[in-house]
Structure 1
Amino acid sequence: MVYEFVPLLAAAAGALLVLRPQSAVAAVREGVAEPDPAAGPAGGAPAAAQSPLSVDAQQLLDTSPDACVVISQEATVVWFNRAAREQMGAVRIGSPMAFARRVPELVRAIDKVRATGRPERARWSEKVPTRRWYEATVSPLTLSPPFAEPFPAMVVYIHDLSDQQRLERMREDFVANASHELRTPLASLTGMIETLQGPAREDAKTRDQFLGLMREQADRMKRLTDSLLSLSRIELRAHVHPTDVVDCAETVRSAVEMSRNVADEADVRLELALADETLPVHGDPDELLQVMNNLIENAVKYGGDGGRILVSARRDETMSGPVVALAVQDFGKGIPPEHVPRLTERFYRVDIEESRARRGTGLGLAIVKHIVNRHRGRLTVRSTIGTGSTFTVRLPLVTEEA
């Protein structure tokens, strides 16, 4: 739907493309770079005086949310809009388009347009730093008046399909996971309802017992649905790094206070160890609070037999720079080593029966992993049988230099 707009925008841009002096056109044809567009106005687009395009053309193309790059017949960059600078960063006037976007599918589309003069499309995905999907439309463009000799060029629009693809995958994953995990409680509910409608219709004792079980199954489905929706929302924003500054010391303190009732009910003592300093990170306060709540809840459920849980936050130094280390340590029975690498998989459980008995959904650590990844952090797990487990989240510390 987005690309129904592209031909119209390209045509309008073509009507407004007024070339600068002939020397500027020659420089582009010969691959000679004009002054660095980085010195242009704020936002990253080239200044009007440094471009062979008119001011009107630049303003029109700058309104596009998609990356737009005008290239010569030799596939060197003539001009690019602000979205292109934000998306590609390395694009420069006079440099080959392949330097800015090293994508074989896009190069092939440009070559086809050069050979046939007809528009082409290309789709591809990139895995680094996060998985993203793109679609490009390459269209021929002729820059002619006020010069007698036409200047053949091409316009490349690159549309980011990542949000669209993530929405589709989120829908598919939700349907698959929900149908699988909800099948058991739904079957239980159906069986109990049929029993109450039939043989146990007049049995008050059985009715009360089944109603309690039905309430438990309904609560289980609600927890599963809430966790799946939470995980889907986090995955949808996985490529958007938070920019707010959050004090992790306050986040950890709040998480411990919120979890005290759960710990008290399980007869587990929560201990808090905080550094006497602020621990700022770039983050989403609600998501970081959810990380700590999930880790503490897991520790209470599966490591609470040790009688106490230690929650700590401190500054740490790593090879990549200073970080904030948030740790939740239990003193329970520990986790067998063969299970540790799979703990963050969706619905993975070390002991299925124990997890269900303790009302676990199998999604808590998957949610933690995705939130930590979005915050450019790292989750590590250390566990020793008979001694307990420690879950540690490391997030980049915000320093004064940053």
Structure 2
Amino acid sequence: MDSILVRGNGALEGQIAIAGAKNACLALMPATLLSEEPLTLINAPRLSDIRTMSQLLQSLGAEVTSLADGTVLAMSSHALTSHTADYDIVRKMRASILVLGPMLARDGQAVVSLPGGCAIGARPVDLHLKALDAMGAELDLRDGYVHAKAPNGLKGGSVKFDFASVGATENAVMAASLAKGTTVLENAAREPEIVDLVKCLRAMGAQIEGEGTSRIEIQGVDRLHGATHTVVTDRIELGTYMLAPAICGGEVELLGGRIGLVGAFCEKLDAAGVSVTETETGLRVARKNGRISAVDVTTEPYPGFPTDLQAQMMALLCTAEGTSVLEETIFENRFMHAPELMRMGARIDVHGGHATVTGVDRLKGAPVMATDLRASVSLILAGLAAEGETMVSRVYHLDRGYEHVVAKLRGVGADIERISET
């Protein structure tokens, strides 16, 4: 099992190219199931989660070809051979549930295992099922699988989500694209990944309005055709690497970044003493001057502060001047990185969904263990600013969401290497 060794090495300088969004791509790929014609995605990230989704689609009979060093995905679902998404693949990744809506809408049947993924809370699929039920699906949960049928096709319906779930909104939008009649989604998720999915579906012939707002209206069509679509920039990778010069000092330009993708995050960086400016090619990030200031953070659905940047922000605040309070409102069990940061000398007190972080002058390198995807990169960020060596183990989590992290950080001056155990 690989580890990553980080040595605190001072300020960072240079450029980091930001990849296409993992979470957007994982929703865009199942959209191929909605049409018999080819769907091509450009700017796809090269990640293990993308490979897992490719395997899942291929197990259903879809063709998935990786081109241009993995950044282009050419897909075709002209002849599906199965409507069952098996546990052995689905257990690796929660986004696998996104094949449910498209298969059900296209062929009137789907059997999908309840999904797995990072251990950061229950994250049930009840909202996905609620939406499909409103469109007339017959649903049965047994033996760890969702058995779904719509013998006469899905029909337009009205759905009001109890929570603005990104995945449930994505599943519902795709399913409703081929449903008979009009479907209205209330309290829909507003994330850029939703907007990106709708942009792709519209290019395939879907009739959708309201993306980016809490109310989305979909007029079902008889069929969708093929399309070519460019995946939006990954706002979580963007925010993660924005924190690198904030933690270490120096100045880094994030190529492909836009403030509009990370507005609430930028507001907190500004309050903490970090400058973010737009350039012709991305975002330039640097400390304003001196030590980072403490700030309070509450995670919220978009356009609020992203839960997927909470762990990384905690790493920054570990050496801030003063005391910060981080409130996690999206997922339970998402402070598992706190004990690992404490091994590095951080002062963190966790009570339920709140973490109080009192800044220290300097973190110290230590052996630490990644517990989930975002926690793994938070430990790497902390190691960049720590005195001595930090060895981060169980970095297989990292490969699910960050491509070439060692090369990207080395490119701006970080002392970091991946150590493979033989």
TM-score (norm. length: structure 2)? 0.25
TM-score (norm. length: structure 1)? 0.26
**Relative contact order, higher structure (CA 8 A, sep 6+):** 2
- Larger helix percent: 1
